[in-house]
Structure formats: structure tokens, C-alpha cells
Structure 1
């Protein structure tokens, strides 16, 4: 079978997507110029499937159309079975790629949660003690500490908001006692009786991180 030159076809496709040279196409798709030469020479069946997967979106052409465009009529007539195998390999590789992407996303989410949890543990004393200390400082402007409250409070609030961490109730809030959410630090109370928040507790989404410390009113 005579050598087939698909260079012009490839250049036409490159022009349609605004790519001016084979070097630029190589960089955009992340494939070697040697692989592009195989494509231009009609040696698509010698190319790796992952190379075709990279070229397809850059040339804005479906994989099946890419294979058809850069394969000769003789290739499809004489090598139907290998071509079908190639298509099936592409389908299988796409499924595997999608599975890998899902796994990576799940792993990323798990790592993010682990990072947040370890950071929250390191910040535990600050999370629990700071709101109460800040409240005391604001109630008494004579304290020198009142000047640094905004410097710590705002960044802390932004960090907790970014991580989806919410306070059960602010310091000083009076609310019905719920032993699932509140921890008595003095006295006694029955569920539903009014208690006052002394130290903030936190949720992260639906997960309870720390119970609020309360005392009877």
C-alpha cells in the first residue's frame, strides 16, 4: 500500500482551531512531534491510544472521527477487526479514565477532610476558649486585650466559614438545654430548661465537633 500523507488534513484542522504549527500542537496536546509525524504519515494504528485521547479535544474532533479521518480506506477494509479492537480499547480506556478521575476526586475530598480535622484538633483550645475571652474583653474596654480582638476574630471567622464550621450558639446566648449539644460545666438542668452558653461548641456540616459548654440560668 503506498505511503499516505495526511499533513494537509492535519494542517486544515489545526487552522480551524487556531494552532499555527506542529510544535504548537505538540505543546497544546502534550504529545511528541514524533507522534504527530506518525499521524501525518497515516500510521495511526501504530499510535498509542492515550495520544489519540489527548489530540481529540485539542483538535475538537471526536475520537471516532479522528480515527476515520486519519485512516485510509484500505486500512478499514483490510483491517476491520484491529480497528474495532482499537475502538473498544478506546472505550475501555475512557471508562478507566473516568473511574480514575472519580477515585482521585474522592481521595482529594478525604485528604481535605483529614487536613481540616487535624487542623481543628490543633486549634481546639483557640476555638473553644477564644470566643469567651473575646466576649470578656469586649465587655470591658479597659482591658488592653480588646485591641487585639479584631486581629484574631476576623481571620478565625473566615477560616471556619471556609471549612463549613459553624458555632452552635454565641457566647452568652440563652437557649433550651439539649444534652446532645450542650455540656453542663456547673449546676444541673433538665432537657428544655434554659441554660446560658459559656463556651462555644461547633458543627461541621451535620457533624458535631464540640458540644457547647453551658450553665443553668
Structure 2
């Protein structure tokens, strides 16, 4: 049996990776003009095509990858190398894996997938732990403050504001910034503001009712606004 080596250069896959240009280039020599046509000709689902474009080839069955390789008229090795950071090495005797090779590759893919899932779980736990550390004072003190407010309706809400500082700290660490401030009167921008009622044209004065948020260039939530009186 030929020697096979499958190595993960970076086991944690990046959801922002887009291999669509590479796929389109491979489709041209095969005379394919649409992803639907590729799906039908290869006999695989559109979901598998999306996985390939998103760099999730490590989550696909080896048999599915082989079908796509044959349809695109490239070797199994070339397809895997093009659409992932997983390097596959086969002896030069042949570029098409035989059934025993496929079984070995499937086992290695399964191992890498288990490793990926474990890493995701570990990263999730670390994320939760770091977030809890930042929010510790809020989690410990807010219930007591809420109880005190219920027992004493005269208690000023201003005294509760320091408890919200951990949230501001967490947003700063994540580089999330607010869009305007509650109560501010600003020019209406439909790209960043959501009008709660009425009609407004771009540039009209509106009052912020609920803040919005953005992270860098990415809009998370539009600020909710109403017409300024």
C-alpha cells in the first residue's frame, strides 16, 4: 500500500475563508458554469459544495471529495490541497487513492475532526471563563443590589450604574463600540439607525432610544431611533 500522510497545518478552521474563486477556476476547464451544475454532475448535495467553498473539506466524506475531484478533472490530492490547509502526500505511483487508501484517509479525517471538536470545546470553555472573570463583580453584586432596590423603592438607580462597568470593559476588550448614546439627537442614517415609528429622510434629526453596536467595520445592531420633536 502506498505511504499516506495527512497533516493539519492549522486544525482550527476559519469560517471567514472563501475558496469560491479557486472552485470557479477549476470549474472552467470542466465546462461547468454553476455550482448547481457541479452538484448535479458530481452527484453531491449543494450543502457539500458550500462546505468546499467555505474551506470545510475536512468535514466531508472522502468518497464525496473523490467524486468532486473526478468531476473537476483533478486529482484527489490536488483538490484537498487546494481547498484546505491539510496536506496530503501520496507516493508518486498514482494520484488516485485505492479503497484501502480511502479507508486510511477517512480514519485520519475522523481523527482530525475529533481534534477540531475538542479544540472548539476547550476554546469555548476558555472564552466562558475569561468572560466570567470580567463580569464577576456584576454577577455577584447585581442580585443583592436588585433586592435592595425592591426593599427600598427610594434607592437611587444612579447607585447601580457602577455595577455595569464590567460590561463596558468586556465590550472594549472585544472592540465593540456603541452607535450614539441614548437621548442624543443625531442626523438619521438608515444604514446605522432603525426608525421605530414614522417616516424620516436621511439627515433628518432623530433621537436615540436604544443604542446600536458595531465591531470594527461590521454592524452588529442598528441604533433604534424616533423622530426628534
**TM over 0.5: same fold?**
no
Return the structure number with greater strand share: 2
> TM-score when scaled to structure 2?
0.35
Structure with higher Rg: it is 1
Higher relative CO (Cα under 8 Å, sequence separation at least 6) belongs to: 2
